[in-house]
Amino acid sequence: MSVLVLYNEDKEEVENSLDELRTFFYTNSASYKEHPHTCSVEIERELATTTFDLIVVLGGDGTMLSVARRVFQYEIPILGINLGHLGFLAEWDLNLFFKEWKKIKGGAGYYPIGRRNILKCTITKDKLNVYQEKIAEFYALNDVVINAGSPFRMIEGDIFVDFHAQVGYGIDFAASFKSDGLVISSSVGSTAYSLSAGGPIIVPSANVLSITPIAPHCLSMRPVVVDGVSKIHIAMSKINEGTTVVIDGQDKIRLEKDWVIDVAKTFPQLRLVTHPTKNYWQILREKMHWSE
């Protein structure tokens, strides 16, 4: 079995964890390569030249988000070993990994894999309603957030939701909004920024997207959930100098007034190795401290 280990070198426990993994892989005659998760060039070279059966990520949910956006296209299962705090995405620990190794070595049919939607965010410049100039393109596992930024006045825009992934003005207009921002979330990201902004908790396997306003001026503007085949189109009418589009809380681009944002799911889906003994509700209860 061939394993690619990507690790967050800023985590205090990472060196000890790497030493344990190296010893374990050597003892079990497993082929593996390792790199810091930030070494994009080296990782792309490895993926282009070597066939890996599994990607093991040492870190927290932030590390998982960073890795997932860059490697989902390769359709290699990703297993997160949690060295952070929450562990919604990085569900495993080292002891569990060692215990389940025989099943993992047996291949994808022997351990649980969940398929998770990836969002594609395209930012274009509006030229007389013809989107000819692409400004940027991002992928997100959790969410795409429009953040008001300094000088921290409310921003305004129009939301279109198209169920055929083809946007036309005057068709499928959903709402205008005035708020401190907007969160467009996958079902995986429902327990991240969207939840903090008052959005719903959604099981991660659900094929849906959610739209959650941040501190809306109109109290009747509530979070909504739309079908996963939809394209969400945002046309801003009022922004601040510091208004940004933020991807998974990690990548960002400053927004300009005549730019428009389209968000829809893309393919392939992320293949995430889930916890072998705990279901989603058990993990949710633990992380949310329910019934305590």
- Domains along the chain with CATH numbers: 2-112+274-288 (3.40.50.10330), 118-266 (2.60.200.30)
What is residue 108's predicted lDDT score, i.e. its pLDDT?
73
Span 38-62, average pLDDT: 96
- Mean pLDDT (whole number) for 263-283: 94
Q: Would you state the pLDDT for residue 132? A: 67
The answer, yes or no, to whether residue 128 has pLDDT greater than 90, is no
Task: Give the pLDDT confidence of 145-183 residue by residue, as tens digits.
Answer: 999 999 999 999 999 998 554 545 445 889 999 999 999
Q: What average pLDDT does this structure show over 250-259?
A: 93
Q: Smallest Cα–Cα separation from 5: which of 53, 62, 65? A: 53
Q: Give the model's pLDDT for residue 98.
A: 97
Residue 60's pLDDT is 95
pLDDT-based confidence at residue 52 (cuts at 50, 70, 90):
very high
Share of the chain above pLDDT 70, in %: 95
Q: How far is the C-alpha of 106 from the C-alpha of 104, rounded, in Å?
A: 5
Q: What local confidence, expressed as pLDDT, does residue 171 receive?
A: 57
pLDDT higher than 50, residue 103: yes
Q: Verify cis geometry, omega within 30 degrees of 0, for the bond prior to 268.
A: yes
Interval 261-266 mean pLDDT: 95
Q: Is 61 tagged catalytic?
A: yes
Please give the average per-residue pLDDT across 111-134, as a whole number.
Answer: 83
The per-residue pLDDT of the chain, averaged, comes to 92
pTM confidence score = 0.93
Query: Looking at 10, 61, 180, 227, which residue is catalytic?
Result: 61
Whether the predicted pLDDT of 209 surpasses 80: yes
Answer yes or no: is pLDDT of 213 > 70.
yes
Residue 170 has a pLDDT of 44
